[in-house]
Amino acid sequence: MEHHEPDSLRARHRRRVLITGAGGQLGVALSGVFAADAVSALTRADWDVRFPAPAALAVPDIVLHCAAWTDVDGAEDDPQGAAEANVGGTAHVAELGAPVVVYSSDYVFDGRKGRPYVESDSPSPVSAYGRSKVHGEAAAGGQAWIVRSSWLFGPSGHNFLRTMLRLGAERDEVAVVDDQRGCPTYVGHLAAATRELVDAAMPFGVWHLAASGDCTWADLAEAIFEESGLHCRVRRISTAEYGARARRPPAAILRSDRGAPDLPHWREGLAECLAELGKAG
């Protein structure tokens, strides 16, 4: 009688997971969380999603679509470029025909609701970037989990936390916006919640996965300095004083009204991220 080793059976039945944008902070986190699966982690050099998938690419069991245009101000100068990445890129991923997780943003809202946004709220973006994310959601097709999250940070890549650590080590004071509120979300927690969402075979559609709690950018900067032991003051300024080209929602706090996985508080995410940076450093 033929005998199969248990490890061999597990290997044959491992889910084939394709990650786009795998070199970014979220892609790196997802690669770790889904490591027990058969992961194909593609960077932009492997597949620039503005173009159709490489001919030799095998259709996976699931796609985690992280590749995206993330420069909010840059999208005002080049809305077509943002659309090519965020709308065209999502359409090219959907053309594979596999279920897909598409990552979207709190910036699909105008931030004027006065209460947290839930999945049933209609988008109302106020920037070219936000519009590209809304249209990207529509391009995902019917086999998609649309995961909206907020103010992502992690131990790798370009993000607010890493910028504050650099500036806090160089300066005695930094000016940080204090009239925008959001839910700073650690990519490790978002990756774990993504796995929970797909492993539970939750229905396709829009899901809000963001950290518990909320704060302003200035609050987050002060917490970063406090947790990391940097003696740097935060000077609180308005969005108008900062002078960003793109409009931002003043308060886009994401919560779920359809039973999405809960994420830990943003302070817990901050502590975990700094601990990861400490190990790497």
State both tokens at 175: 């000016």
pLDDT band at residue 1 under the 50/70/90 scheme:
very low
| CB contact set of 73 (below 8 Å; sequence gap of 6+) | 244, 245, 246
| CB contact set of 51 (below 8 Å; sequence gap of 6+) | 92
Identify any residues that bridge with 18 across adjacent strands, giving them in sequence order.
40, 63
What 3-state DSSP class applies to 171?
A: coil
State both tokens at 8: 């061999």
For residue 280, pLDDT over 60 is answered with yes
pLDDT digits (tens, 9 = 90+) for 119-146: 999 999 999 999 999 999 999 999 999 9
State both tokens at 193: 């919640």
User: Is 186 part of the annotated catalytic residue set?
Assistant: no
Segment 56-72 shows an average pLDDT of 97
Segment 71-96 shows an average pLDDT of 98
pLDDT at 281: 65
Identify any residues that bridge with 260 across adjacent strands, giving them in sequence order.
none
Identify any residues that bridge with 103 across adjacent strands, giving them in sequence order.
147
pLDDT band at residue 13 under the 50/70/90 scheme:
low
User: pLDDT exceeding 70 applies to what percent of the chain?
Assistant: 95
pLDDT band at residue 6 under the 50/70/90 scheme:
very low
pLDDT band at residue 5 under the 50/70/90 scheme:
very low
Alpha carbon of 121 to those of 133, 207, 219, 224: distances in Å? 15, 11, 27, 32
Q: Which of 121, 127, 75, 86 has its CA nearest to residue 250?
A: 127
- CA–CA distance, 218 with 235 (Å, rounded to integer): 8
Instruction: Walk me through the domains of the chain, giving residue ranges and CATH numbers.
Output: 6-158+183-214+249-264 (3.40.50.720)
pLDDT digits (tens, 9 = 90+) for 150-200: 999 999 989 999 999 999 999 999 999 999 999 999 999 999 999 999 999
Task: Give the CB-side neighbour count of residue 214, counting CA atoms within 13 A.
Answer: 18
Average per-residue pLDDT for the chain: 95
Does the pTM of the predicted model rise above 0.85? yes
pLDDT digits (tens, 9 = 90+) for 235-271: 999 999 999 999 999 999 999 999 999 999 999 999 9
Cα torsion angle, 138, 144, 147, 152, sign: negative
Q: Which of 66, 35, 47, 255 has its CA nearest to residue 154?
A: 66
What 3-state DSSP class applies to 149?
A: strand
- CA–CA distance, 224 with 218 (Å, rounded to integer): 10
Q: Which of 103, 129, 186, 242 does the annotation list as catalytic?
A: 129
Segment 198-227 shows an average pLDDT of 98
